[in-house]
Amino acid sequence: MRPWLLALTLLALTLVACTPDPPADAGTDASADIDAGADATTDAATDAATDAATDAGADAASPRVLVFSRTTGYRHDSIADGITALGELAADRGWTLEATEDPARITALGDVDVVVFLSTTGDPLDDAQQTALEAFVRAGGGWVGVHAAADCEYDWPFYGELVGAWFARHPAIQPATYLVEDRAHPATAHLGTTWMRTDEHYDFQRNPRSDVRVLMTIDEASYDGGGMGADHPVTWAHEVGAGRSFYTALGHTRESFGEPAFRALLGGAIEWASGR
């Protein structure tokens, strides 16, 4: 241990020993602050993910990741599973990771390389928070959107540019075949040319192909209810200002976050978005 770190540790232990116990209703750690609307399962997953990533440690070149999962509309049961999966990825890959549903955290991103919007819905950010996120990305920060990240902030033009395309509708959850179009990207390099899996398959308000690097499409002949036709992107990446943006429509089901291939996709996406 470095001498300065040992000294700080001994000082902290001395202060703790001399400090009386806080009252039973003392506040919780702000890094795991969850809106009152979030359930206890998400709260526990947030704490566990942050603790796991912190315990694993990270070197100075590792991505610093903030997972943001606030919802003001529909809330996915899979959010807690996603937080757990990302925490385990962080521990395995040596990232630092913090999970939060406190929108005020978005105004202080100086210690973050990548912000992950995990099935955010409704309007999770106010005007000041929107301004802060836009400045972060345009200055070189990374952003990764998962599933319902395309189902929020419909009145914010920059967010439309950031996500690439907004959600329109979806049919029932069912198996389908994905067509991996670009295997040169770190998020899809581990996949074959096709990938069959079960999920909720989004249609979008527009085809984003002209503005993004499409990594994967879905074969509408392989399931019922698709509404975009022969060219139906579901995963893509692009640059926004000096920053990097990645979006995948996958991740509705709780089971998604237990799939090794999907976890690898998220890991590659986050590391690419970090620029490291």
Percent of residues, the chain, with pLDDT higher than 70: 78
CA torsion sign for 19, 24, 26, 28 is positive
- What phi-psi label fits residue 24: left (phi over 0), alpha (psi between -120 and 50 degrees) or beta? alpha
Distances (CA, A) of 21 to 25, 47, 274: 11, 21, 40
> What's the CA gap between 50 and 46, in Å, rounded?
6
| Residue 176 belongs to a domain | no
Question: What is the model's pLDDT at position 236?
Answer: 99
> What's the CA gap between 155 and 151, in Å, rounded?
11
| Residue 77 belongs to a domain | yes
Question: For the ranges 16-25, 113-122, 246-255, which has the lowest average pLDDT?
Answer: 16-25
Six token digits for residue 264: 């690898």
Q: What is the CATH number for 156?
A: 3.40.50.880
Question: What is the model's pLDDT at position 57?
Answer: 52
What are the pLDDT digits (tens) for 135-152?
999 999 999 999 999 999
Mean pLDDT of 43-61: 56
| Residue 150 belongs to a domain | yes
| CB-CB neighbours of 210 under 10 Å | 7
| Residue 181 belongs to a domain | no
| Residue 113 belongs to a domain | yes
> What's the CA gap between 57 and 71, in Å, rounded?
29
Six token digits for residue 263: 């976890």
How far is residue 94 CA from its own chain's centroid? 17
Question: What is the model's pLDDT at position 100?
Answer: 99
Higher pLDDT, 9 or 71: 71
Confidence of residue 44 (pLDDT cuts 50, 70, 90): low
Counting the structural domains of the chain, the total is 1
CB 268 within 8 Å of CB 235: no
Mean pLDDT of 190-211: 99
| Residue 43 belongs to a domain | yes
Residue 182 has pLDDT above 70, yes or no: yes
Range of the domain at 260: 37-167+233-274
Instruction: Indicate the average pLDDT of the chain.
Output: 87
| Residue 142 belongs to a domain | yes
Confidence of residue 43 (pLDDT cuts 50, 70, 90): low
What are the pLDDT digits (tens) for 73-124?
999 999 999 999 999 999 999 999 999 999 999 999 999 999 999 999 999 9
